[in-house]
Structure 1
Amino acid sequence: MSAQYSVNPIPHSWFGHLYHRNANALEITAEGISFVPTQSLFLSRLPLTNLEHVSWQQLDHPPLFSASLLGSLLSFTASGVSYQIPFLSYFARSHFKHQVELLWALSHEQALYDLIARIEKAISKRYLRQSLLAKMSSRIAREYRRWFPWSASVELPPKTRAALTQLHHFYHWKNAHVEHLREDYIQSQLVAFADFFDSVESNPLTDKQRRACIIDDDNNLLLAGAGTGKTSVMVGRAGYLVASGQAKADDILLLAYGTKAAKEMDLRIKHKLGTADIKASTFHSLGLKIITEVEGVKPSLSAWVNDEPAKDKWVHDRLETLIENESYRKHLFDYFSRYYYVEKSPFEFSTEGEYFEYLHDNDIRSLKGERVKSFGELYIANWLFSNGIEYQYEAKYEYDVSTLEFRQYQPDFYLPQYNVYIEYYGIDSANNTAPYIDNAAYLASMAWKRQLHQKQQTNCIELFYYQHKKNQLINKLEQALTVFKVNYSPLPDDAILATLYELGRVTELAKLFSQLIGLYKAACVDKTGLQRIFSQAADPQQARKAFQLLQPILQLYQEYLSATGDIDFEDMIAKALAYLQSGQYVSPWRYIMVDEFQDISEPRARLVRALRDSRSKTSSSETSLFCVGDDWQAIYRFSGADVSLTTQFAQYFGQTSETHLDLTFRFNNRIGEVASAFVTKNPHQLNKEVHSLIQVVDPAISILRRGVNERARQDEPSANALVQALNALSVHVAKASATSTTEPSTKSITKPTVYLLARFWFQLPDKDLLRQLNAQYPMLSIECLSFHASKGKEADYVVILGLTQGIHGFPSQKITPPLLDAFLPQAEAFQFAEERRLFYVALTRAKHRVYVLADMTNVSPFVVELIQQPYNVELNEFSTSLVQTLFEQIKCARCTTGTLTARTGKFSSFLSCSHFPLCDHQEAGCDLCGSPMTRKRTNGFAVCLDEHCGHIAPLCNLCGADMSLRESARGTFWGCKNYRGNSVPSCSNTIDTATISFKSKPHQKLKQPRDTTLPKPRQKV
């Protein structure tokens, strides 16, 4: 080419000749463009006075010819500077364009070949990460702009044309092309490392497990369902990275939760991979390592790091010391008296039962320990107590006004020293009651009480809900008490403190503060951030009051650490993060793997992200992040875990490749179907399918419905629900053993394992009872675990206990203290989201069968859901009583959410609400057999639930109360049970028996129903 194009001059145009003596303006050579010196050359910005030669290598693109009236114009960019050469021959473009483009191409073709080769090597030798794709796309686009579109019209060598075809293909990559390239790589690795994946674990890895090991984007999230073998992937991926030459052992950082989990991972890797060079680390040991390397000395760890009870005790001791300060003590008393509970208005609830449940589940009690029925009553009681005014809560009225149908009147408060009653009425300033209360009946009751006090000339102070809402309640009480010359004698501080200690509130507060110390330090908030936290709390005022008490302890805590030179867990994470962000520490790891990612807190996630990003500042090699988790098993929000970091992973870490493990080796398909459907009622859970290796036909979750003191059958008087479940389980084990196809000589001697699980430890058998059960069932290995402690474990069978409502119910409805809740990750909008996941964890611990024990008279709503919604559960394995079967039809007529429970009084048996004493509704039950009556079957009638009895009684069409048969001179009639004679309120409605038609005679004598736990027939008075 150099001989052919040794010298090719381009002359001036006629206009250029007027100003230039040289005939030619420039010369085209194989090496580049040479210029004839002239004063008439112009640069777009600078004159070309000193430019003599430009090589083709200096040109970013081939020079461009354009026409003008005064001659052709040559434009080009050399070393980033733009030039224009005017007044060239009018034929310059037609004579020299292709020649110039070809010479430029010949000079740049090697760079093109090299780029194509690098790209082809990259996409064949490694997984195409998003970061690499971005870099390649940028380089491809730049090269594409250099060659296109002009190269299409130039005769180029075949090799160059082939390279340009490939470049054109790269430039027009679509998502489908990228995914195809990645899939080609995965398939090649599956073939190349088939033997490794076959043997790395006891059983060959599944296809999805293998793919999870190979896929290597910048950010990788593996969603692994319960029992799907996530640990096998952690081990397999680490081994694959080393075996494939992509990493050395010290390139891999494996993060586990807790020292125990890290050690278990180390043992698994050593056993499966045959190396001790890959080690798992906890987040705290990682923080310690970073701090040590930066500071050159290993920091001293606080003894509390591994001794939480010691930390709790220190906080408790500091709190006791602070209480000795009068000002602090005053704030403490004020907090316990007015801000200890999260107040909710009765007007916020749709039923009275829901309000009672809130009061009960959060154990709303006065400073004297009494369970009260409203927050207004709570503040009245606490004020009376603190001021030394003796009172009785709901004492019986001094005059007997009880009737056959109505109990004795009990005013809210009674001051015995002054013979003064106090009534707190739940009405607003417009005389409205909460929506679920009969307003007319309530106002009539108020009128009756006023009339009674007036008649008996007893003193009664009336206080109202609207006064409480206006913060006038205590002032109104004080004013009223002065009329009766009530003397105040504020209790000594020691007496109030003694009461607080007796109720356990000081200890409880110290425990809360101990937990808050870590959460507060981890949040790293300034004053503005702290105020924002307060404003977002469920009860901002309560949160501020609690922090006012916490602040001095925070200061003492940090002063203690400074004096001893120690750091705690939060310091380890915070200091390590600061060193990474400042560049004082650069991560040496190219592969970061995090186990149990659904349990991660935001500070830890921040540390992981900083580790990933630190290498990019100093190294061309990007770090790959691989996180394994299951958002369905996120159950640790109370310790700071934030499930949204998993469900919104890409928003926090950037574009992510998400893979799934959907084949569980643990539980059968019937357990999996129920558990999966149950947890995905929450639409915020990530949508994934979990299939079971073990397939069975019949339901594998059996619900045993039995009361606490209820017998199973007459021939088994001592068999409670747990024993019944274990008996049935033993039968299953025996049948499974009998039908096993394993040869007798090879049968495993390992006993089937049974987990007894409950939400709280105290709901489980103690050590003595557990020993008895293991002795009673020698063919089983029985163990007790809480739901949380069972996570990550598995057993052949599971028995779930403690599925009740109430303060220790499940799901737990106890309100988290607002200050604690404010420092925890934001709660999900879906009700009981975490408790629902916790039940999923409990269900999925079992391989073969789950037994759910439930007393339907006080049952968890989760059990009700399992029974009433289309879950495939077994309801007929065990016999059950009438009350257990028809539990929904014996709801309390007053509060609507409580269940009527059989109780025995001094003279008779009766049914009362499970919310007692908050709800004091009572019923006599069926007049014939004592069974519960339901109002839900026939409009206007109460029907006996015992099908062998069938007694029917009308309901009052005026007030809705039960009616009973009564005698008069003219015969029998139905009379309202709310009849009080001349007393107010009273209902005198009657119904003639002749006007009512019954399917069965109301006084028909029937045989005693078969074995039930219903109360005996009520005695006639």
Structure 2
Amino acid sequence: MDIRPSLLSYIFADSTKWRINYTFPELILELDTKIIKLNPEQVLETHIQKGWIWSSLTLETLDQNFQFKGIFNAQAEEFKIKLNDDAEFLRNKRNAEKIKETLKPFLLEYQNFIQQNIYLSYRLCNLFRSDLSQRSKASVEQFNSLIQRDSTLAFEPVLQNQFEQLRQFIEFSIQANYAIDAKNKRFVESELKTFKKFFDQVESTPLTDEQRVSSIIFEDRNLLVAAAGSGKTSTIVGKVGYALLTGLYKPEEILVLAFNKNAGEELSERISFRLKDILSNFDTSVEALNFHKFGVKVIGKATGKSPSVSNDAGKPQALLNRIIQQLIETDSDFQEKYLLFKTAYLRAPLSPFAFKTRNDWEKAQKRSFDRFKDGFETYQGEIVKSHGEKAIANWLYSQGIPYQYEKNYEHETADEAHRQYKPDFYLPEINLYLEHYAVDQHGKPPAHFGQKYLDDMKWKSGIHQQYKTDLISTTFHEFITGSIFRKLEQELKSRGQVFKPRSLTEINAKAQSIYEHDANELYVSFLSHYKSNQANIASLLAKPSLSQRESLFLQLFSKVYQRYDQLLKTSKEHDFDDLLIESAQLINENKYKSPFKLIIVDEFQDTSQARARLILSLLNQAPEAKLFCVGDDWQAIYRFAGSDISIFTQFERVFGYTKQTKLTQTFRSNQGIANVASGFIQKNKSQLQKVVNAIDKTTSKVVEINFLTKAQEINEYLTRTIMEINNASASSGKKKSIYILGRYKHHKPNLDSILPFLRNCTFEFKTIHSSKGLQADYVILLGLNSGGSAFPAEKEDDPLLNLVLPQPEIHDFAEERRLFYVALTRAKEKVYLIGERGSIFLEEITKDQSFKEFIHIPQDEYKQLNSNIPPEWLCPKCGQGRLRKITNGPYGAFLGCSRYPNCKYTKNLKRR
């Protein structure tokens, strides 16, 4: 800028001769004969005194002031702004240079950190970040503020990029840091090349890319989600070998924990054998053992005395059975409540109020019916329509009270609108009728029952009033709250009914005759969760709104547990949960010093709360320790033993920031089986989602479904199928293996007669639980039925367990779905499913169109029937049986339901 006074300013503004020449950063002032050179920073203040046209401008410096009269107002303002801005720029530039010098050591420190030849874990980054942030944050913020105002003050490009990384490292979360992610990715890629030979040779076949990456990544908390048959054990071996080979850890610093004794021994042998060359360089070995054995070691080391483990620790059912029997024999209150629970509340009652439509309610009712029955079988042998009616019938039977179910009313009542009236119960000794209604505490039925239900209740009451017969009624609300049996006892005794209670031996015999599950099995599962989750019986009993079933069971369990706990204390013995709980406590109290810096846990989906607390105690004592957990939440099937799947599915909530990797390639099942199994299990959205890719790409008709229910039919089918596999194997020259799987041991068929004829295949029966971890060429799964001994089994997902589970599962049959997945994924080539059409799981699979290519339902039986018969063979009356051709009918061939005599549907066949 070149500013001089105008000619008129000499006359009207009293101006003298002057000149301002400003070319950044030099300011030249000419006043009369003087020339002064300044820079913008030397001007401390700029004052403008405005007139109509001209201003008087004064520049204030440290030594003196300079005044310029006769400068146009606009020029004065423009000059002042320009000079101030430039002065600010120079000050900022000078500050920026100082801050740059301050920042350069931090940039170098950050670069050295991020360029380390290691995997940068969350904890390592956080520790460095915390220290670096404390020392550099002020300088970073100042410099960031300067360059936001003026980008020309920034570093040269390379350093500026480093500064941005440093700033983000300090300001943003480690999880979202792209530079750390990129660095770790480069590190993994480099290690894959460096250790290619090791990963190629550590197992009998080269590890997959997924297995190698999981072996190399050493985040503080690692979760490997492994599909069935994907080689998780090989990954554990690879990780241990890589850790030793790279010098990250010594053998004595590595702990490998397994779910049970056999798994621990197998892992130990596998690691010792596959890594023998690496381990030969050390004087110590890697510790691989199960949780309980580790607990024994911790307690022994911390206390100087190895704990005694109860002989019943591995089989608590036998001990609990003895305790329950002792209580029945010595405690009348326990005996009375135990009998009531067994007769009336063994199964969780299905509430009609929990359903939105009548159709949904009826479907659920039908699914809960006893197997091959149109309802619920009582101790007396009749089939009743609801849990409530069964409870009443069994209670009456247990009290030795004669009754008749749905006996025709003593008077004729049939009219145009009503059939002959059949009251629910009739007690002949006191001439009393009993009706049980599905109504709430206000006498109202579920909305979907409609007005007709209320009208029928009113009509029945009117009938008894008309004929002056004695009627009492009970309700669903009274049943679930428990007041029903007090009411019945009072009403019956007031009418002179004689009670003749039957013995528990007689009741048990009746229960076994109708295939009711053992009432005592529930105590084992409840006990394990109760101890593992450190529940308190008083707190549980104090919960508001407990149902009668919940309250009754808790009262029984309280006495069982008290006796159980006393037995252990008297004998100074531990059960398995005690080992876990006490060892964790000793570690937390620093009475045991952990040498372990790498903790690997196999089959992590089966972890209990007690196991999780033990792991956390080790990690809390050694914050630098790394945790690597391997498992598949789709195969979590040990809830009955105390396992809590939420520890797996919500791993990060329990253990902190987690790096999750996956093994999605299965070497076992073909793609068709994998698609059906994974598609089925992932309908429960609480399960972790993943895509499973099979090495064997076969998809067509690899799951065969057969609707068979009679023992003879099933045996004939098994014989035929096994012989077909045997004969087909002869031509291939390869002996095939077959697993026949059942939900329960009693599903085992007798096939000894075909053993002499098998040359090219072998078969073995296993329960699904015992088959876990194993594989066969073919799997035949039995027992996909509803009712007693059903699969899915209602008792395994008993809602009573929710009382002691931190996070109960929401999805219906969640555990049973995982068990079904395990059964499917034991097979390499083909799965055969055998059950009834009413099976929940078979129905779900057959209706899923995405499974159409993979599923085969043989049509052989259909071809034997009349060609006019429609292809849908489900009985239209009961919806559970299948139609069969009966040739010896009085009027020729006809179709009948396979569930006869429980269902008597028939249909005549057209004659040719």
Whether these two folds match at TM > 0.5 is: yes
Alignment of 1:839 with 2:847, yes or no, is no
Alignment of 1:574 with 2:568, yes or no, is no
Q: Which residue of the partner structure matches residue 119 of structure 1?
A: 113
Contact (CA 8 Å) 1:461, 1:480: kept in 2 or not? Answer: no
CA distance in 1, matches of 2:824, 2:559: 44
Match of 1:554 among 537, 542, 561: 561
Q: Which residue of the partner structure matches residue 281 of structure 1?
A: 289
Question: How far 1:256 moved relative to its partner?
Answer: 0.7
Match of 1:392 among 376, 395, 404: 404
Q: Which residue of the partner structure matches residue 548 of structure 2?
A: 541
CA distance in 2, matches of 1:899, 1:891: 5
Question: How far 1:99 moved relative to its partner?
Answer: 12
Q: Which residue of the partner structure matches residue 744 of structure 2?
A: 760
Question: How far 1:160 moved relative to its partner?
Answer: 14
Q: Residues 745-894 of structure 1 correspond to what in structure 2 (within 5 A)?
A: 751-766=735-750, 769=751, 771-814=752-795, 816-824=797-805, 826-856=807-837, 858-866=838-846, 868-871=848-851, 872-875=853-856, 879-881=860-862, 890-893=874-877
Q: Which residue of the partner structure matches residue 698 of structure 1?
A: 700
- Relative to total residues, which structure has the larger helix share, 1 or 2? 2
1:833/1:462 CA distance change after superposition, 3 Å: same
CA distance in 2, matches of 1:721, 1:420: 51
Alignment of 1:605 with 2:597, yes or no, is no
CA distance in 1, matches of 2:486, 2:319: 42
Describe the SS at the equivalent of 2:779. strand
CA distance in 2, matches of 1:195, 1:397: 86
Which whole-Å deviations, capped at 9, do the CAs of 1:939-992 have from their partners, x for residues lacking one?
Answer: xxxxxxxxxx3xxxxxxxxxxxxxxxxxxxxxxxxxxxxxxxxxxxxxxxxxxx
Question: How far 1:212 moved relative to its partner?
Answer: 0.6
CA distance in 2, matches of 1:772, 1:806: 30
Which whole-Å deviations, capped at 9, do the CAs of 1:168-195 have from their partners, x for residues lacking one?
Answer: 6434457221111101211221122111
Match of 1:342 among 344, 348, 352: 348
- Which stretch has the larger CA shift, 370-379 or 641-650? 370-379
Question: How far 1:657 moved relative to its partner?
Answer: 0.9
Match of 2:267 among 260, 265, 268: 265
CA distance in 1, matches of 2:699, 2:398: 65
Describe the SS at the equivalent of 2:233. helix
- Which stretch has the larger CA shift, 884-893 or 682-691? 884-893
Q: Which residue of the partner structure matches residue 241 of structure 2?
A: 239
Contact (CA 8 Å) 1:704, 1:854: kept in 2 or not? Answer: yes
Alignment of 1:140 with 2:138, yes or no, is no
- Structure 1 letter corresponding to 2:350: K
Question: How far 1:280 moved relative to its partner?
Answer: 0.9
Contact (CA 8 Å) 2:369, 2:787: kept in 1 or not? Answer: no
Describe the SS at the equivalent of 1:490. coil
Q: Residues 451-490 of structure 1 correspond to what in structure 2 (within 5 A)?
A: 461=471, 463=473, 465=475, 468=478, 486-490=495-499
Contact (CA 8 Å) 1:703, 1:874: kept in 2 or not? Answer: yes
- Structure 2 letter corresponding to 1:374: S
- Structure 2 letter corresponding to 1:287: G
- Which stretch has the larger CA shift, 189-198 or 443-452? 443-452
Q: Which residue of the partner structure matches residue 173 of structure 2?
A: none
CA distance in 2, matches of 1:688, 1:436: 39
Question: How far 1:196 moved relative to its partner?
Answer: 0.8
1:209/1:307 CA distance change after superposition, 3 Å: same
Contact (CA 8 Å) 2:407, 2:422: kept in 1 or not? Answer: yes
Describe the SS at the equivalent of 1:626. strand
Describe the SS at the equivalent of 1:300. coil
Describe the SS at the equivalent of 2:550. helix
CA distance in 2, matches of 1:479, 1:762: 42
Q: Which residue of the partner structure matches residue 305 of structure 1?
A: 313
Describe the SS at the equivalent of 1:659. strand
Describe the SS at the equivalent of 1:303. coil
Contact (CA 8 Å) 1:208, 1:660: kept in 2 or not? Answer: yes
Question: How far 1:246 moved relative to its partner?
Answer: 0.8
1:292/1:466 CA distance change after superposition, 3 Å: closer
CA distance in 2, matches of 1:572, 1:613: 19
Identity %: 30
CA distance in 1, matches of 2:90, 2:472: 110
Alignment of 1:498 with 2:511, yes or no, is no
Question: How far 1:252 moved relative to its partner?
Answer: 0.5
Question: How far 1:638 moved relative to its partner?
Answer: 2.1
Q: Which residue of the partner structure matches residue 523 of structure 2?
A: 513
1:783/1:896 CA distance change after superposition, 3 Å: closer
How does the TM-score come out when normalised to structure 1?
A: 0.68
1:674/1:609 CA distance change after superposition, 3 Å: same
Q: Which residue of the partner structure matches residue 60 of structure 1?
A: none
Q: Which residue of the partner structure matches residue 130 of structure 1?
A: 122
Alignment of 1:588 with 2:588, yes or no, is no
Contact (CA 8 Å) 2:599, 2:626: kept in 1 or not? Answer: yes
Alignment of 1:227 with 2:229, yes or no, is yes
Match of 1:210 among 200, 209, 212: 212
CA distance in 1, matches of 2:815, 2:463: 51
- Structure 1 letter corresponding to 2:668: R
CA distance in 2, matches of 1:477, 1:683: 44
Contact (CA 8 Å) 2:884, 2:895: kept in 1 or not? Answer: yes
Q: Which residue of the partner structure matches residue 296 of structure 1?
A: 304
Which whole-Å deviations, capped at 9, do the CAs of 1:699-724 have from their partners, x for residues lacking one?
Answer: 3222334563797xxxxxx9822233
Contact (CA 8 Å) 1:547, 1:819: kept in 2 or not? Answer: no
- Which stretch has the larger CA shift, 564-573 or 500-509? 500-509
1:109/1:710 CA distance change after superposition, 3 Å: closer
1:418/1:166 CA distance change after superposition, 3 Å: closer
Unaligned runs of 5+ in 2: 1-43, 46-59, 63-87, 148-154, 170-175
Contact (CA 8 Å) 2:588, 2:621: kept in 1 or not? Answer: yes
- Structure 1 letter corresponding to 2:425: F
Unaligned runs of 5+ in 1: 1-66, 72-92, 154-158, 617-621, 712-717, 738-749, 930-948, 950-1005, 1008-1021
Describe the SS at the equivalent of 1:342. coil
Q: Which residue of the partner structure matches residue 83 of structure 2?
A: none
Paired residues in the alignment total 795
Which whole-Å deviations, capped at 9, do the CAs of 1:658-706 have from their partners, x for residues lacking one?
Answer: 1111211112222222222222222222221111112236332223345
- Structure 2 letter corresponding to 1:141: S
1:459/1:524 CA distance change after superposition, 3 Å: same
Question: How far 1:598 moved relative to its partner?
Answer: 1.0
Which whole-Å deviations, capped at 9, do the CAs of 1:792-814 have from their partners, x for residues lacking one?
Answer: 11111112222222222222234
- Structure 2 letter corresponding to 1:296: G
1:473/1:585 CA distance change after superposition, 3 Å: closer
Q: Which residue of the partner structure matches residue 79 of structure 1?
A: none
Q: Which residue of the partner structure matches residue 385 of structure 2?
A: 373
Alignment of 1:724 with 2:704, yes or no, is no
CA distance in 2, matches of 1:462, 1:904: 49
Contact (CA 8 Å) 1:311, 1:514: kept in 2 or not? Answer: no
Question: How far 1:308 moved relative to its partner?
Answer: 3.5
1:591/1:815 CA distance change after superposition, 3 Å: closer
CA distance in 2, matches of 1:407, 1:904: 34
Describe the SS at the equivalent of 2:856. coil
CA distance in 1, matches of 2:402, 2:161: 97
Question: How far 1:838 moved relative to its partner?
Answer: 1.8
1:582/1:675 CA distance change after superposition, 3 Å: same
How does the TM-score come out when normalised to structure 2?
A: 0.75
Question: How far 1:128 moved relative to its partner?
Answer: 0.6
Question: How far 1:498 moved relative to its partner?
Answer: 3.5
Contact (CA 8 Å) 1:867, 1:873: kept in 2 or not? Answer: no
1:897/1:448 CA distance change after superposition, 3 Å: farther
